[in-house]
Every structure is written in structure tokens, then in C-alpha cells.
Amino acid sequence: MPGLYTPDGYWKSFNSQIDSVTTALHEDDAWVLGATTSGEDKQQIDNAVRQLYMRDFIANWDRFLADIQLNNSADLSQRINTARLLSGANSPLRRLVQNLSQVLTLSRNAPAPEDAGKAQDQSNRATRTLEALFRNNDNAPTQGAVVTQAPEQLVTDHYAPMIELAQPLEKGGKTIVFDDFLKQVDELYRYLTAVQDAANSGMPAPGGEAISRLQASAGRLPGGLQTMFSNMAVGGQQ
């Protein structure tokens, strides 16, 4: 994922370049067309260009999230190990949800500057992106365009279900919303372990209520996580 499409990339690079780039482009328009741009027009254009960035941000992250999936488990032992890993105390899936919540939230407060070389590289990319937005996007802003909400809200609204999963159940608590879903994965792990034990001892397999609960929980998850949990439930039936 390009660093430009992160909170740091937005605030440190894109945000710092947008004024100079839009001003230069509209100076070109004024020279060619003889048009003038008021302060109000510039603000509207600034907001509209930010919205173009937000749509590009969403497109890039949607593609990335669509590629996240579990490896196919060939047998029961692998499915048990997968469920154990994902539901454990150091669950990589939990860390993923927490990290996504941070990177998909474009805070209005710009973070402190970091390494100057990295910041300059991102600034150059931001400049090229801004220029490309003006040149190539059919929905490029025009004078008189009205923007009624903060551009950053587009990203927040789009990824609200994902962001919500990382929120604490209680103020100041360590348990997050997603932990309830991980409990369903832990139940699947215990069920699959019981199935393996039953097969090894020649006993009947236990009931599959854990699979039904996991399938029901999957329906409440956003995007790729829903597919991942559904696949785990389907795999548990095999």
C-alpha cells in the first residue's frame, strides 16, 4: 500500500502540497482563460480535490482488503491450528483489525513530522497525485462546486463498520468489539479439537452448534472479514 494513502501520507504530504498545487493550476487557468478565483472558490476547490483523494484512498484500500484471505486448510489438523492461532491471546487477526482502525481513520489533527527524507518523497508523490487528479478525473472540481461535509468523513463513513470493531466495549477497557467474534473462533477451535478426539477414539462426533454460531456471526462482519469467517465455518463442516 503506497504510504500516501495513510494518515501520515495525507496530513504530512498531501495536505502540505494541496495549496501550492491548486494555486499553480488556477494561475494557469487565469492566464489561459482570463478567469479569476475568489477565496471562497479556492476553498471549495480545495475541499473537492480532497474528496477526489478520499475516493482514491478508498479504492486502494478496498483492493488491499479484498486480497486478505486465509490459506486453504487441507485437513482437520490444519483447520484446528488456524482456529487456535486466530483466537489466541496474540491473535494476528485482532492486531490486523486494530491496525486497520488506525490507518483507515484520517484524523483532522496532523501528526508530528518524522524523517525528512521520507516526508519529502511522500510530498513529491502527493504533488504528482494532485496534478493527476486535475488532469484526468472526470469529476474534477469546477468553480461553484459546493462541498457540505468534511472530505475526511468519506473515508470514516465508508470504513465505519471496520473501525467500530476496534473500539473498546467500555470506556478505558481493553476488550474490543471484535473480541466477541474471536470467541466464536475459539469455540470453533474447541469443537474441531473435539471432533478430532472423537475420530481418534472411534466415538461419535459432537454437535456442530459452534459452526452455526460462527456462520451467524460472520454475517455481522464487514467485507473481507465476513468472507474469512464464513470460510472458517464452512471448513469446519468438512
C-alpha cell at 100: 486497520
Neighbours of 169 (CB within 10 A): 11
C-alpha cell at 172: 478505558
pLDDT in tens, the chain (238 residues): 788 899 999 998 888 888 776 776 666 655 554 555 555 667 777 888 888 999 999 999 999 998 888 887 778 899 999 999 999 989 999 999 999 999 999 876 544 444 444 544 554 555 555 555 544 555 444 444 444 578 898 999 999 999 999 999 888 889 999 999 999 999 999 999 998 999 888 888 788 788 999 999 899 999 889 989 988 888 766 6
Q: What is the pLDDT of residues 9-24, one digit of tens each?
A: 999 888 888 877 677 6
SS (H, E, C) 172-192: CCCCECHHHHHHHHHHHHHHH
13: which DSSP letter? Answer: I
- The H-or-E segment that residue 137 falls in is none
- Note whether 151 and 42 are within 8 A (CB): no
- Note whether 150 and 179 are within 8 A (CB): no
Looking at residue 39, what is its pLDDT? 59
CA-nearest of 12, 27, 21 to 52 is 21
Q: Where are the alpha helices (DSSP H) in the chain?
A: 7-8, 15-33, 39-66, 76-87, 92-103, 116-136, 152-158, 160-165, 178-201, 209-218, 223-236
Angle separating helix axes 39-66 and 15-33, nearest 10 degrees:
130
- Note if the pTM is more than 0.85: no
